[in-house]
Structure 1
Amino acid sequence: MSALPEVISVHGGMSTSNGVTNTTPGGGLMPRETAPRSQSGVTRDYIAKQTPTTSIVNLMNSLPGVVSAKVDPLGMTPGDMMTMRGMTQSQIGFLFEGAPEADPINYGVSTSTLVDSENLGSLTVSQGSPDIDAPLINAAGGQIAAFEINPSHRMGGYVDVMGGTHSANKEFIRFNTGDIGNTGIRGFASFSYTSSNNWRGPGNQYRYHVDSKWVKEWGEDSSVKAIFAWTRQFNIGMLSPTLAQWKQYGYSYNLAGSYTPGDTTYYKLSQQNNNMVNVIVPMHFRLSRELELNATPYFIQQFGPSMGGENIPVSGGYFGNVAYGNGSSQYGSLNLPYQTNGNLSTLLSDPWNQKIGSVNASMKWTHGHNTLTFGWWYSYAAHTERYQFSLLNYQGKVVNGYGTSPIRFANGQILSGDNLNFWQQQNALYIADTLKLLHDKLELSAGFKAAMVSRQGTNLVPGADPWKTTGNYFEPLPQFYATYHIDPHNQVYINGTTAFRAPVSTEAYVPDYDPNAGQISAVGNLKPEYTIGEEIGFRHTGFWNLSVSAFNLNMTNHNISSSGYIPGSTLVVALPINAGGQTSRGFQAEFGLAPWHHISPYLSGQYLHSTMDNDFTVGGEVLPTKGRIAVSSPKFTGAIGLQYDDGRFFGNFNFRYTDSQYSTFMNDESIPSYMTSDLTLGYRMKSIGPAQHPQIQLNLTNIGDSHYLAMAASTTANAYDTLSRSGAVVAGSSPIYSIGAPFGAYVSLSSGF
């Protein structure tokens, strides 16, 4: 029996092999939304026309309020950076098929490890508040939900190959089983390989990825899905400059291409290894006409290592907080070969490992015009991490032997800056009720979540103070929504919501140490971040689509997740900062047309006024920061999109503007505004034998080749010396920045079969 071709089709749209239907207004950037809050989305109509390696964060860059730092043309750089209404990515909850994918401690998420873009079905972005049943403890600034495509009912597959600038290439293949007999089961499995040279400086990157999804459906409304993903990703790092270094060197501020003894910027020492195993099993059971049960168990494992170069002293350094190499120390000198000026050049390795097991379950009862939901979320996470050092020879290669891999003291102990063990348990109980009145035109919703987080962290290096810290948090989170459907096309809404974020990073509990400086971070303020938000908005859907909203957000204990290089190293350490209160106000809007003569335009924009509510204390001195503009909060952002698709020829153009952004609390340093634009051109052919709807696609990114700083990679109180409230001089400290990706050209060939 011959295999049937894999063709994704929707009534009223077109049939393609990659899921494009040309039915979403705004070229795939404005799907119909009815939620009583600010909410935007992205569908296959847009996703399939972007570079096949584009990250989830970059796919959202045209939506109102969203700013993403595209620092890699392929979207493979780990630790995607974005802001939304001035909130950083670590303040935005991220869900994939109902499971939270951010690191539950530092809240970073590498979206490139989650799913291939060929398998990504849709994105939903809630700019102000998370769902009450969302399993999140960091969604102070909103929520992003990503969903994978469902397996086809027909046996077949899809293949996509891409090549482009910087020796970029991607090979992708997916096979669908189709419906397996009368079992109600269908599934797919896919594999991809992606690689390229670094666009800036020496080195390369590559990625192996597997996706698989299986669906079992029965009855009128019951299903079980099983999602599996595996990723192995390798990147050579790129340096982040200060503003002065950017102005002096521009794109040439890079790691060294060859090794010089004592120079730790050698590119082969700066490595990121991101590995992930992801298992999610969303289940939905229709128990009766009025009762349904939802449960989503999931398991996530993420592990490294990350690596960088560092020179460490032979004598007079630190093991934890204890000096080594002097007469009074129990730890002797590191009398090893390959010394340079009293130092040893080493490869600093951070082999972190994290495992998360969880379940989120809820019961929903619908009776008449009333729907009651009650649920419980439980999660357990364990994180281990121990920095270690390996000796380098004069050629920059790791030396094996001499007790050097890793470097040990005479008593056998491994030299380390951190020996971390971190545990976290989360419980959340939530209840929500929705009442529909006036022939279902008026909807009133109220909910309450009680979130409980228990943490314990230890650092077992000698002299760590504190070596152990615990944290227990209870946060009450009420929500209220009201919406009125004027008619099937017009809706108004108002809401009041709360959200929180537990303290960010292990450094908030136990300090970091380094052989050169001893303690390099202080235990942060352990108060959770808490937000209270209000929105009012209007939405029209139909041939023309408009969504506008005004918002107000008040935050206490704003925990800014800054970062900085370990002294003398190319590895970055987290630096949590409590900046006090913050108030953010503004409005956003987006407009899109349904396809008209094959054309679909899209417009979006946001005005944001975000200010600090408190003075900031640094080194015992109070800086006059109250009322100053919050960091990473551009006043104006906007996007213009235009799509053409007649079923054969297609094209997509997107232009984005991002206003200037401050990077210090004192507003004494900022990055300039910038503009970027991307272009897609393509042609679909008729089916040729087993090749179903083959197409060729050209993607041009940053077509103006703008040279720009995309976002602040760290935050400081003041970049230059300034006076405190008492008149004392507070020394400046320069932030570092992420450099925006340059022009790129990529050609891809794809086809169903």
Structure 2
Amino acid sequence: MRHMRRDLLLFCSAIGINYAMGNLSAFAAPAAGEEHKPVSSRHKSGSATEGSVLGANPQAEEISVKAAGRHADGTSNTTPGGGLMPKQTAPRSQSGVTRDFIAKQAPTGNISSMIANLPGVVYANQSPLATAGDNITMRGMNQSQIGYLFEGAPLADPINYEPYTAMLVDTENLGSVTVSQGSPDLNAPTFNAVGGQISATAMNPSHKYGGFINLMGGNKSANKEFLRLDTGDIGKTGIRGFMSFSHQSNNNWRGPGGLKRYHVDAKFLKEWGDGNSVTAVFGYNRQEQTPFRSPTAAQWKQWGEGLSYSDHYTPGDANYYKLQLSNLNSLDVVVPTHFTLAHGLKLRVTPYFVHQYGPAVGGENIPASGGTFGTQVYGDLNQPYVTNGKITTVAVDPWNQKVGAVNTSLDWTSGHNTLSGGYWYSYAMHEEHSTFATVDFSGKAANSYGAYGIRVPGGALLSGYNLNFMQQTNALYIADTLKLLNDRLTLSAGFRTVMVSRQGTNDVPGADPYKTVRNYFAPLPQVAISYSLTSKDQIYINGTTSFRAPASVQAYSQIFDPNSVGATSQPGNLKGEYGIGEEIGYRHNGTLIHFQVSAFNMNLTNHQVSSTSYIPGTNTLVSMPINVGGETIRGIQGEFGLKPWHHVSPYVSAQYLHATTDNNLPVSATNAAGQSVIDYLPTAGKTMVATPHVTASVGLAYDDNKRFFGNFSLRYISSQFSSFMNDQRMPGYVLSDITLGYRLPHVPHLNGPKIQLNLVNVGNNLYRSAPASFVTSTQSRTGIYGNTTKAGSPIYLVGGNFAALVSLSTGF
């Protein structure tokens, strides 16, 4: 449980009064990443019960609320490493961040950007404000292979697995984030988490009426206005909650255009009795942004960060920035409930609903006549504003997705043994019907998006794809945990089965297949052993399995374009990805020093690398999985942090990673007779793409708990290959950020006003932050069977520039 601020006298009084009444449910909740010392058998929402199964609902740091109290922004200056190393006890590699770190970062950040300093995490941004989408890898596996949970629910796209964390929660409300590198919870409602799991929670509402306001401004016209109102305890109902609203906007750091974002968060909580609680979490996001162009290596060498969309329109210019927009809109409702049914018997039920929708739009010139609609050639489109036989259009992708689901689990503890079981059901529907809207000579769409788009002779809407997709997921798990030797030895074993049913249609003429049906079944056993050498030292070993169905709707359907004869992309290899991993680790949670190190090994079959590329001749990006067969991943990671010592908290993390491709990859080739054939290139044993060998982070936090505070962090990412033949790589880079802050003296009617300066990418390092697409080879080669292969050109994300952001905030 978390609270936002506490006066020591009131806190002590509350303890005495509630103890006398025998009612502990009215206690204020500590901040994210912290809990009171146990005073009852009550557990916080999302925390593990005693003897919980392997990896299930990892516990946060447990500390006492100290006399120093808490600040209005939720910080307490108690977490080791300046908020980067809360106490962990799970029998696996696991790290996290708390409010001590989150509150001192730029208020425009998201869940992914908050964990960029943790071991094994590679966060690649396109904007220093962290608003241009997620791109993150852990142990060489990207965000589509990582399970994202918010308040126990998977709010990521359930089909392409993109987390879109900028839509989920304002960082002013973000309580804590826990990262499990390499293995998911056994009872987590995900089926894509071969690369690990990221779990986030919002701060719990305060028991006291009040609020929090934050106003931010910076270069590139960056601004954010945030307001949260806390109800406090509502009469004697036991209910408390908060609601918040924020507005954010900025100009793009590269090229014209910018961002507009409106966001609403709400959380209401009722607790009663022994471990009973009902929480209702609500989120709404409306966001529109001009995307950034992704260059090839040659374009980066020629243009650097200057490659961008046109800032003025001339007829026929499909690269005009106002024709490129990315909309991320969402509505989320999560209702975690916890019940104590009897002594030792606990039930958790989490229903949730997620609605995410676009549109995404991009400029494209299409033939005024003689183009293609699916496999059919259309006649004259009878559109105005034709230039050189082409119509400049806005290609509209109004994707629309709805998910309804419920996750349940039951824990029965008897003596030293805990038996757990659960069931997860999810139903998702996805619609995606691309259309085209004509652009007039001023650069504006002359007709509306959607139903009033361009129609071919005969009346049908011109489209490159008309997708309708349905997915049902059923998962069952059972696990047992036994504690021996005075609870020093913990043995856990569990088994989970995941069943995924998918079917989709493509209503574009000539689509083959018109309908695709796939069913997946995966058995997923896990086992872990943990032993406490002392009260502060723990060793563990585990073996885990994981599964992921192919990502993206496009993996099941053809994509067409009016400029191309035949499909521009074909359905991919539809086998599911399966991982088997082992870890051994040691951690020390001392009075002053926290340290942990682990070694890991993982073997993947049907490893699917997610690649994003433009439809040829367009500004439309599509995501396609590439099945590269087997992969072997080995490495070692560690982190070190100190609790505040003379107001200073250092932190260091590092990882060495060795990931290789196990198979030779198939590739399109041309034989001596000029015919198209399939050949293979010798990629077996090559380093896997997007897997930097070395990553490291250094942090230093200062907080005197009175007036002055500050943070410094430095991250190093070594070079990464973007081709499976290892003939093109992206250079490594170094980034550093600085935070400086001052808490104002007492101001009447205000609680803890402060001013904070965030400097992002100090030194304005210009760099490519990550490969956005991958190719087998960037050179034309002779395949294993003597055929000539084609060369490819991967594209890259460009990192965000320098940003200076000033925030004024206060509680009230």
**TM-score, normalised relative to structure 2:** 0.90
CA contact (8 A) 2:398 2:450 kept: no
| TM-fit CA distance, 1:14 | 3.7
CA contact (8 A) 1:5 1:752 kept: no
| TM-fit CA distance, 1:403 | 12
CA contact (8 A) 1:13 1:23 kept: no
Amino acid at match of 1:49: K
Distance 1:66 1:404, change over 3 A: closer
1:122 to 158, 170, 176: 176
Divergent runs of 4+, >6 A: 4-9, 401-404
SS in 2 for 1:273: strand
Distance 1:739 1:347, change over 3 A: same
1:745 aligns with 2:804: yes
CA contact (8 A) 2:260 2:289 kept: yes
Cα distance in 2 for partners of 1:401, 1:375 equals: 48
Q: For residue 438 of structure 1, what is the aligned residue in structure 2?
A: 485
| Structure with greater proportional strand content | 1
1:29 to 71, 74, 84: 84
1:586 aligns with 2:640: no
CA contact (8 A) 2:440 2:446 kept: yes
Cα distance in 2 for partners of 1:110, 1:401 equals: 27
2:575 to 527, 530, 538: 527
Distance 1:370 1:260, change over 3 A: same
Cα distance in 1 for partners of 2:635, 2:692 equals: 11
1:601 aligns with 2:601: no
Q: For residue 209 of structure 2, what is the aligned residue in structure 1?
A: 155
Q: For residue 350 of structure 2, what is the aligned residue in structure 1?
A: 296
Amino acid at match of 1:459: N
Deviations along 1:280-303, whole A, 9 cap, x unmatched? 000000111110100000000000
Q: For residue 632 of structure 1, what is the aligned residue in structure 2?
A: 690
| TM-fit CA distance, 1:95 | 0.2
2:586 to 538, 542, 546: 538
Amino acid at match of 1:152: S
CA contact (8 A) 2:474 2:500 kept: yes
Cα distance in 1 for partners of 2:111, 2:596 equals: 22
1:656 aligns with 2:715: yes
Higher mean Cα deviation, 398-407 or 670-679? 398-407
Q: For residue 353 of structure 1, what is the aligned residue in structure 2?
A: 400
How many residues are paired up? Answer: 742
CA RMSD of aligned residues (A): 1.4
CA contact (8 A) 2:393 2:436 kept: yes
1:38 aligns with 2:93: yes
Amino acid at match of 2:567: Q
2:362 to 291, 308, 325: 308
Amino acid at match of 1:513: F
Amino acid at match of 2:86: P
Cα distance in 1 for partners of 2:557, 2:791 equals: 26
1:334 aligns with 2:381: yes
Distance 1:623 1:310, change over 3 A: same
Deviations along 1:478-535, whole A, 9 cap, x unmatched? 0001000111100000000000101111122111111111311111111100000000
| TM-fit CA distance, 1:314 | 1.7
Q: For residue 139 of structure 2, what is the aligned residue in structure 1?
A: 85
Cα distance in 2 for partners of 1:274, 1:70 equals: 17
SS in 1 for 2:533: strand
SS in 2 for 1:251: helix
Question: For 1:463-474, what aligned pairs fall within 5 Å after superposition?
Answer: 463-474=510-521
Deviations along 1:661-699, whole A, 9 cap, x unmatched? 001101111100100000000011233111111000000
Q: For residue 105 of structure 2, what is the aligned residue in structure 1?
A: 50
| TM-fit CA distance, 1:567 | 2.0
Q: For residue 555 of structure 2, what is the aligned residue in structure 1?
A: 508
Distance 1:13 1:422, change over 3 A: farther
Amino acid at match of 1:541: N
| TM-fit CA distance, 1:13 | 4.5
1:234 to 288, 313, 322: 288
1:191 aligns with 2:245: yes
Cα distance in 2 for partners of 1:713, 1:98 equals: 29
Distance 1:404 1:446, change over 3 A: closer
Amino acid at match of 2:682: P
Distance 1:360 1:404, change over 3 A: closer
Cα distance in 1 for partners of 2:269, 2:68 equals: 25
CA contact (8 A) 1:242 1:737 kept: yes
| TM-fit CA distance, 1:727 | 3.0
Cα distance in 2 for partners of 1:525, 1:688 equals: 63
Cα distance in 1 for partners of 2:355, 2:450 equals: 31
| TM-fit CA distance, 1:405 | 3.6
Amino acid at match of 2:681: L
Amino acid at match of 1:288: A
Q: For residue 705 of structure 1, what is the aligned residue in structure 2?
A: 764
Q: For residue 328 of structure 1, what is the aligned residue in structure 2?
A: none
CA contact (8 A) 2:771 2:796 kept: yes
SS in 1 for 2:298: helix
Cα distance in 2 for partners of 1:402, 1:667 equals: 43
CA contact (8 A) 1:26 1:601 kept: yes
Cα distance in 1 for partners of 2:293, 2:360 equals: 15
Amino acid at match of 1:550: A
| TM-fit CA distance, 1:401 | 8.9
Q: For residue 330 of structure 1, what is the aligned residue in structure 2?
A: none
Amino acid at match of 2:314: T
1:406 aligns with 2:460: no
Cα distance in 1 for partners of 2:749, 2:5 equals: 7
1:136 to 190, 198, 217: 190
| TM-fit CA distance, 1:575 | 2.2
Cα distance in 1 for partners of 2:599, 2:624 equals: 33
Question: For 1:205-244, what aligned pairs fall within 5 Å after superposition?
Answer: 205-244=259-298
Cα distance in 1 for partners of 2:776, 2:171 equals: 39
Amino acid at match of 1:601: P
1:686 aligns with 2:741: no
| TM-fit CA distance, 1:738 | 0.3
| TM-fit CA distance, 1:12 | 5.0
